[in-house]
Structure 1
Amino acid sequence: MDQSTPMIVDSMSTPRVYSNASRFQGTAEFTPSIYATPQVHSSDMLVNGFPSIMNSSITNLGTRLLNTDGMYFGNDIIQRYAEVYEHTRPQEDIGNAPETYEQMCEEYSKSFREEGGGIFNFKPRECRLWEAERNTWKLLKLLSQYRFTPIKSLDGTRNPFQTDGQLLCELLAIDKDFAEAWIVRKWLWKIAPDFITVETNPEYRSFTKNSILLDLKKRDSEEYKYLDPDGTHRTQKPLHPYDQEHEKELVRSIFEYLRRGQFDDAIDISDKNGHYWRSAILSGIILYDEKVDGLHISKIGCKFQAVNTDRVTSNENGNVTTIGNVNRQIWRGTCYHCANQEKLDVYDRAIYGVLSGNYESIIPICRTWEDYVWAYYNSLIECQQEEHARHMGVNDDDDLPINIKVLTPKEIFELVESKRVDSRDFDLEKFHIIQKLIILNDSKEMVKQLKVEIIDKRLRREDEIAYVHFLRLATHLILYLRDLMLSTPDKESDDIIKLYTELLIECHQNKLIALYASKLPREISIEIYASFLKGVTSSCTERRKLFTLAEQYGLNVVAITRKTFELIFKEIESPDRYGPVSDIRIITLQEPVNAVEEIQIRALEWLTFSKEQHREALKSANALCRIFLASGRMNVAGKIIMEMKYTKSPLSAIRYVKPDDDEDEIDTVFIEHQNYCTMIEYYNKYEAWWKTWKSKPEKPSSKELNEWTKNIKDITNSLDIRFHKFLDSYVIDFLRDTKTMVTEEDEIRIRELERVMDIYIPNAVLRHHKVLYETRDILPANLEESFNLANLVVEENADLTIHFRRSKKLPLLIMSLRDSYLEILKKNPKDISNVLHVD
């Protein structure tokens, strides 16, 4: 190994070879040794300098996690996750997003622990979920940093005389699988839960010793001199029950410290309880190294700290010269032999199993999935480390053979899954699936398993809390993997992100939906965002913001708004449901529209936010008017037309659409809109006429009567003008007069136009006859004009009789003309030639 290239080994840092060790300045402090890991406190998880979203305090968390629907999905949680995802760039810092997610999970789990009355009480389910997610992000952070950090090639020359410490550094640098196993074990050390350690009793086996001293017969007997460490096994004499219990708790505590990688604490607790021989045994795990300067090994750059000064030799000047176990192979073989002694306590055997890498003596006391994985990975690391030393010719002592099967990571997880650990905790099992596949670096299989758990197993129906938590985690895992350019199965990934987006829609997280919809394929994003916009009924300003958000995140806003209108448009009842034209009742313009109709009108506004859709909006407005008019809801069509004329309405933008510039083609869209305007103007004027007519003063010859007469004359003349304009410009199907191929959409439009004309032309003629007939005394010429409406109906250029026949209104027209004819005869019985004149 190049002596000028330092290798940094830290308990939570990624083992890599760097050209400059200063890259790790500002990171966590180095641990006392490569095996010693300080206990983690929740406060240590909070790092300064993260986004402001990490600084928000969590108050009343239990309430805020439950929204109005009773779902475990607090607004602040999903918003913070979205902010972290949006504002972190894995390309800049691989571990930034996972570390921030990890800290958030720690923050929430801490709040649940505090609400539960302390970390040693039974933890609520929510706390377990947050802790499991925190552990998952921690694992992903550590392995991602290793897998995506460039490796500096090692110099081909190497020192043939290397110590165990140097060989470990070399192995970490050249063996990717070993380095990842090292990281996994460090992760398992860190996530182990806290435990209650043994009470300190500095006097070694005091109860047994006092019992012997108080018994004069035992005091001088050789039979009872068994207080040495091997005495009880040699003589088969039991200790005092109190000493037995204390030693049982001591070895359990030592094992728990080793389980967490806290070797310093295990040695310290042995010293404090007078078990110095245990301290000596545990100290043997420290690798031997040479030429130690101060607390760091300068020769190879491995930043080891001395476990304590009792295990370090010094020269005359007080400088450290050597550290560690020079006979580690003999020591490990002895530990392996002790681990197989069935007469030893189960925790004693487990301790020796940890030191030697013998997982078979550890498995009996493992309780959780993490315990089993740690036991196997600890064995994997110890065995590979020893095998590398043998391969390099450093350890070749075969006097104490060690027979441990070296397992591959896949074999490890197969064994763990066969143990049925955690008492089948289905919540944790889901996280273990993810963690296993992160370790195995199988992102494709991980996404497939996520899809199985969330979708195929119908998790939502079984458990809403787990569904929401797991779905959020799965979504952000997939997004993180995609940002790292890792291969994930598209369909399964899209299904999960789509589910999460739909959940955001259900929870009314309107500002976040565009962000996640933008991560879906084009067609799916259009469909899901349009279905979301379809249900939004807030103000136009708020809806425009949602449109802008879609633009901001690169969604196809034109296709989305078109789809949104189509979805709402499809919900409008077909005119065919209302039966024959003759049964249709025309709703007056003055009658207000209902809430559903108002939503349908507002649907047009989605098409006004982009100028390139204004003509499309005009065409859609025509379609809406046709549908409403064909069902007799003239009030709704009238509101659309009036809003298009009102400058402060968003629909007014449609009014300024110009006809097509192509002179060879008739702009049917523009003409149809103008004709609807003319129709609405006529009916609106008629309702004004009717209101004026009904307001005739009761006193004749009064001033009010004269004013009323003048008003009725003016409004009648104005109405007559609009009536003829309406009939002259009513909608003609121009497609019939062209050679253009008629599509299915055109056929529907033609049928709707015919129905509209069948309803409103006969009705307008009959209404206008009433106007002319009723005003015959005020405007005498109107009587003759009312009769001449017959000429207008049968005029060759605009044969209106077809509409009267289809609407079955021809008998009504004949009866109305009969009244006009009889009135004319009554006033001029001798000369009716002018009346019967036909132009």
Structure 2
Amino acid sequence: MAPVEAEKFLSYEAGPEVEEFANALDDCLSPPLSNEERRERIIDLPRKYYENAIRRLAQVRPRMTRNGQDDVDMDADDDGTNSNPASAELVKRLEREAQTWDLLRRLLPLRYASSDDGQSASKTEQSSVDSGDLFKSFLASDSSARERQAVIQWLQSNASSGPDINELAHELQQNADRGDIIAHGWLHTRSSIKLRKGVTAWPHLLDRQSPAIATSFHTSDGSPLVTQLDPDAATRQGRKLEPQDEYFERAIWLGCWEHLRRGSSLESIREWCQERTEMWRAISTSAILLSADDSQGVTDTKPASLALWRRMCFSLSRSGGCDDYERAVYGVLSGDIPSVEKVALNWDDFLFANYNALLRTQLDNYILGQCPADVASNLTQSFPSFDAIQFHGEPSTVDMRLIRALEANPQIKDEANEPNKALQASLISKEIGQHLYQQGFIISSGANHNESALYRSEPSKLEVNKERFFQSTQHYGLRIVAHIYLLINLLDKLNSKDDSLAPAYSPPEMRRSQQNLIAGYANYLRLAEFHELIPLYCSILEPPRSYEVLSYNLIPENEASRRLLQLRLIKKAGIDVLEFVKTQAWLLFDDLGPAQHGCPAKEGFSIIEPGPPTSRSGRPVRPDFFGDDERFVDQAHENLIRSLEWLVLVQETWPNVLSMGTKIYKFFLRNMHLSAARQLMKRVPFSEVLHAATEENGDEIELYEDIPEFWARQLDRRGIRDVTPQQALSDARNFRELENLVRALDSLETVASLAELTNEYAKIENPGAGTAMILTRDRDQKKNREFWNAIGDEVKNTKENMQPLLKNWLLVGIEEGDQELQDLRQAYLPETVLAYVGTLHFAGTGLSRDNLLECMELASIVAERDSDLSVAFLEAGRMKELVEVFAASSKALAISTGEKRTASTGSKKLREMGWSRDLWSVRP
């Protein structure tokens, strides 16, 4: 992998969480479980992922603090986190991830409740009514209220991870000019009142002293000062406190707001207020307190009193109090929105203001339903309250419209478009399917050229705001969205519900785009070298997409042992191994593009040197006509070969190896991809396929029978019914004959390359006077003999490899109507035979005249009446060239005076064929 830029380092992390997430998922999918047991385990996955994120966050925070302390001596005023922006960014990222899993672990049990959960809710409602627990009864009766409470508690939990409340109020406390004293109320205002009373010797309330008191009694900054110290004095009198006490008052209300915002229990609020001798504030919040831990709900109070209490709080939120935080406190308690939004700082605060209002409006409606009709009517007519449901409009779409409104809010627009927040918003508004659809589009559109086949996405006109989604390089985000997709997808399948992610009315490409998340994550696992995890995630996908993703991510594997391991893992994951390897081969073959018409090799295949043949060298074969680098093969072609290697590993697929191998050979040869064809010949030889079919060891010639009955036995033994014996016979024959061509060409190239080196060895045979003084003649001659022996061995191999091409090569397949084989025969056979004659000519003039005799024997074969070779040369219009090379060979044989590098005078070949060297000798 290329080096990662510093600012992008976090995007490429592959920590232990990758494997831990997979292990938790595997625990849900692998064991034989009932649907209910599996549902419970899947529902519990977000909790495990949440705890995993919390653990990683706890590990990072101390490290960040330690790193920050390194610079304390340099600049004590700098925040420690600023000294390590990478750690600070990682902390934010982990906090957001933990929040996402926390939200999901709260919502999924509500949205995918089992039938037992529904019955339990009914029983809870009845028991709550009987016991007088109004709030629990309300929640049990309304599923939307339960979900809104879950979101509120999630928001409260998020807020509770913020700074300590005392730290938030610290600056206000300092401005209150009272040192560390946090109790005893308005100290400065009390002192001013006492001072006035002392100066005037007045023992009663100041406002009774004189009518002019209202104009003569002021704060230190000149504002009218209250004359009494009861909590609502400032509101009732329309006067102010001393500036220091106003800071003190604001600090207390800020603390109360934070406690309500964080869902603190009543005990925590009481303790906090008691420290400040302000217990009345805790009491005023206690009627209906929505705590994060469900420790406090509704007090044991009559419904009418609770309804009236809410309306009093609403009145104070709109027209009471001297501070925004005070009004926000009463706004939270009454379910008001504007007063709470006034102190909101972020996306969570704004969502809390609205969801709190919606839930309290629903609760108020329920409470009024528990009151006598006349009491409820009197309350609603006499005391106004904020109706959040009416304010937001149509209940069925309120969540979506609320999220849209938050996205349009200039104060939080940037935060709302942050990928984690956008994901959380889609979960809350139940638009997660659309969000994952767009996220999948972003992932596929950001793929590079090598990854494009993995997604196979059609061009789309979908326009999305990219800022709202994780980019393809942000693999941590890809991990999150991929697991959210699979969680919901698995639950949808278990509950037999409509597809919540891609409903029937959604665009046809929606499902595939969502599945791109799994495809992209599997690709990341490959890059991160977690190959063993890929089958697990592919098992989430439906065929054939699961086969596609497996194919592109496992095709790089080139070790047989690793491939066998993957096949075992694929089977364990519940994926059809047979279909996988078949599909993989077809997919990679399809990636070559649409079928081409014509055969470029008919015009372009040429391996012999131009010009007329000579008696000395004939028409030499061009060396290295396969290519300069034997190992270089185009990646697409390499993948095709690997797909056949995967096929061979599954015993039942040998017919597919033959049929697909034939197609691949045809493609390689038609387009003159000779190096790829040679690699296929070496790595997937016909003999190996034959052994896989017969499961017998032995020579290919001994095992192979070119009759349908032979293949029928192999098919029956494996129970293969989708291939006929005749088809297996035809594919085997074509595969074998095309392999024979490549093998022959490989031998011809080897001899041609060795022939090119003969000039260097000629110098050793005929050293000059100076050379004899440097080189040891015996050593050089030994080296020379070894070289020519090697040539002799390769010439022998060439003769053996050429034999299958000299009689009826590909003719049976052509007679069966295969036009591609006809084109290949025309393109390759004449040129290859000419190259073979050239090779024999070289061997005849360099090794032994016997090779020239074999040229003459080949000429006689061509001249036979039923020779298919002569027909091939006539159809190709190259009979003249063939005659010329034979004539050059005969001339070379005639003028050859003896054996160059062989002492044999009566070889077995001569005796078998009835040849005589003397017949061709020309004597003076």
* TM surpasses 0.5: yes
Match of 1:558 in 2: 581
Show the counterpart of 1:389: 367
Counterpart of 1:51 in structure 2 is none
- Pick from 765, 789, 794 the counterpart of residue 863 of structure 2: 794
Match of 1:479 in 2: 486
Distance 2:421 2:353 in 1: 16
Task: State the secondary structure of the residue aligned to 1:816.
Answer: helix
**Separation in structure 1 between the aligned mates of residue 19 and residue 789 of structure 2, nearest angstrom:** 66
Look up the match of 1:239.
241
**Correspondence for 1:596:** 633
Partner of 1:201: 182
> What's the CA shift for 1:484?
0.9
Provide, for residues 299-357 of structure 1, a one-character-per-residue CA deviation record: whole Å limited to 9, x for no partner: xxx996799xxx9xxxxxxxxxx889994344333222222215632221222222222
Q: Compare 673-682 and 791-800 and name the one that shifted more.
A: 673-682
- Deviation by residue 1:627-669 (Cα, 9 ceiling, x = unmatched): 777898988766765666899x999858868556515876523
Q: Return the alpha-carbon distance in structure 2 between the equivalents of residues 156 and 603 of structure 1.
A: 59
Candidates 144, 151, 158, aligned match of 1:191: 158
Q: What CA distance in whole angstroms lies between the structure 2 residues aligned with 1:604 and 1:228? A: 89
Residue matched to 1:168: 135
Change (3 A) 1:516 1:341: same
- Structure 2 residue identity aligned to 1:587: D
Q: Measure the CA separation in 2 of the matches of 1:596 and 1:385.
A: 71
Percent identity of paired positions between Structure 1 and Structure 2:
19
Shift of the alpha carbon at 1:360? 3.4
Letter in 2 for 1:496: Q
Please tell me whether residue 85 in structure 1 is matched to residue 25 in structure 2.
Answer: yes
Task: Please say if 1:501 is aligned against 2:519.
Answer: yes
1:222 is matched with which residue: 192, 196, 205? 205
The residue number in structure 2 matching 1:672 is: 737
**Does residue 410 of the first structure (1) align with residue 397 of the second (2)?**
yes
CA contact (8 A) 1:434 1:446 kept: yes
CA spacing shift, 1:652–1:595, aligned 2, 3 Å: farther
In 2, Cα distance between equivalents of 1:492 and 1:256: 42
Q: Residue 768 of structure 1: CA displacement? A: 2.3
Match of 2:538 among 508, 517, 538: 517
Q: 1:182 to 1:582 in 2, by over 3 A?
A: same
Contact 2:744/2:802 (<8 A) preserved: yes
**CA–CA separation in structure 2 for the residues paired with 1:106 and 1:441:** 25
Q: Is the 8 A contact 1:286 1:325 kept in 2?
A: no
Q: State the Cα distance separating 1:255 from its structure 2 match.
A: 1.0
**2-structure distance, mates of 1:714, 1:79:** 54
CA distance in 1, matches of 2:303, 2:842: 116
Query: Which residue number in structure 2 is paired with residue 751 of structure 1?
Result: 823
Pick closer, same or farther for the CA change 1:426–1:549 going to 2, 3 Å. farther
Which of 134, 152, 160 is 2:98 aligned to? Answer: 134
Alignment of 1:95 with 2:95, yes or no, is: no
Deviation digits for residues 366-399 of structure 1 (CA, Å, limit 9, x no counterpart): 2222222222222233333232232233692636
CA separation in 1, counterparts of 2:580 and 2:330? Answer: 66
Aligned to 1:76: 16
Stretch moving more, 348-357 or 231-240: 231-240
Query: Does the residue aligned with 1:283 lie in a helix, a strand or coil?
Result: coil
Which SS does the other structure have where 2:708 is aligned?
A: coil
Aligned to 1:29: none
The answer as to whether partners of 1:91 and 1:484 remain within 8 angstroms in 2 is yes
Aligned to 1:213: 194
Deviates more, 1:385-394 or 1:455-464: 455-464
* Deviation at residue 162 of structure 1 after TM alignment: 6.9
Residues 448-483 of structure 1: CA deviation (Å, up to 9, x unaligned): 454577664373999748854443322221211111
What secondary structure does 1:239 align onto? coil
Name the structure 1 match of 2:908. none
Q: Distance in 2 between matches of 1:404 and 1:718?
A: 96
Out of 257, 264, 267, the residue aligned to residue 267 of structure 2 is 264
Distance 1:704 1:792, change over 3 A: farther
Give distance in 2, aligned partners of 1:409 and 1:103.
33
1:811-826 alignment runs, 5 A limit: 811-821=884-894
Q: How does 1:258-337 map to 2 (within 5 A)?
A: 258-262=260-264, 263-285=266-288, 327-337=305-315
> C-alpha separation between the residues in 1 aligned to 2:780 and 2:303?
120
Does the CA contact (< 8 Å) of 2:311 and 2:385 recur in 1? no
Q: For 2:789 and 2:127, how far apart are their aligned partners in 1?
A: 116
2:559 to 516, 530, 539: 539
Question: Residues 761 and 84 from structure 1, CA distance in 2 versus in 1: closer, same or farther, beyond 3 angstroms?
Answer: same
Please list the CA deviations of residues 665-694 of structure 1 after superposition, one character each: whole Å capped at 9, or x if unmatched. Answer: 765236516845984797599789989997
Deviation track 1:262-303 (CA, whole Å, cap 9, x = no partner) reads 14333332222122332332234479xxxxxxxxxxxxxx99
The alpha-carbon deviation at position 260 of structure 1 amounts to: 1.7
Which of 601, 624, 628 aligns to 1:587? It is 624
Q: Tell me by how many angstroms 1:98 deviates.
A: 1.0
Q: Which residue of 1 aligns with 2:211?
A: none
Aligned residues of 1:113 and 1:127 also touching (Cα < 8 A): yes
1:100-122 deviation digits (Å, cap 9, x = unpaired): 12222333444554455499968
Which amino acid is the alignment partner of residue 189 of structure 2? T
Counterpart of 1:607 in structure 2 is 647
Residue type matched to 1:806 in 2? Answer: R
* 1:511 partner amino acid: E
Quickly say closer, same or farther: Cα 1:131–1:389, change in 2 above 3 A: same
- The 8 Å contact of residues 837 and 885 in structure 2, kept in 1 or not, is answered as no
Question: Residue type matched to 2:397 in 1?
Answer: K
Matched, 1:761 2:833: yes
Q: Distance in 2 between matches of 1:449 and 1:565?
A: 27
In the alignment, the residues of structure 1 paired with residue 403 and residue 852 of structure 2 have an alpha-carbon distance, to the nearest angstrom, of 101
Q: Cα 1:341–1:170, aligned 2, differ >3 Å: closer, same or farther? A: same
Distance in structure 1 (CA, Å) of the matches to 2:667 and 2:80: 68
TM-score, length-normalised on structure 2?
0.66
- Structure 2 unaligned segments of length 5 or more: list them: 30-37, 69-78, 174-180, 208-226, 390-394, 446-462, 504-508, 610-620, 694-698, 710-725, 768-777, 899-915
Give 1:732's aligned residue: 808
CA contact (8 A) 1:64 1:74 kept: no
Whether the 8 Å contact between 2:311 and 2:334 is mirrored in structure 1 is yes
Determine the structure 1 residue equivalent to 2:224. none
Structure 1: give runs of 5+ residues left out of the alignment: 1-62, 288-301, 312-321, 826-830
Distance of 1:256 and 1:681 partners within structure 2 = 81
What is the CA distance between 1:248 and its match in structure 2? Answer: 0.7
Equivalent of residue 363 in structure 1, options 319, 341, 349? 341
Aligned to 2:657: 617
Pick closer, same or farther for the CA change 1:462–1:447 going to 2, 3 Å.
Answer: closer
Query: d(CA) in 1 for partners of 2:429 and 2:749?
Result: 74
Write the letter of the residue equivalent to 1:668: R
Over 3 Å counting, the alpha-carbon distance change for 1:662 and 1:242 in structure 2 is: same
Note if contact 2:442-2:472 (Cα within 8 Å) is conserved in structure 1: no
Tell me the amino acid that sits aligned with residue 337 of structure 2.
Y
Indicate if the aligned counterparts of 1:347 and 1:365 stay in contact, CA closer than 8 A: yes
- Judged with a 3 Å threshold, the aligned counterparts in structure 2 of structure 1 residues 796 and 406 are, in CA distance, closer, same or farther, namely same
Query: Does the Cα contact within 8 Å between 2:153 and 2:263 map onto a contact in 1?
Result: yes
Quickly say closer, same or farther: Cα 1:624–1:809, change in 2 above 3 A: farther
Distance 1:93 1:717 in 2: 67
Question: Hey, what's the Cα distance between the residues in 2 that align with 1:180 and 1:818?
Answer: 98
Matched residues in 2 for 1:720 and 1:160: separation?
96
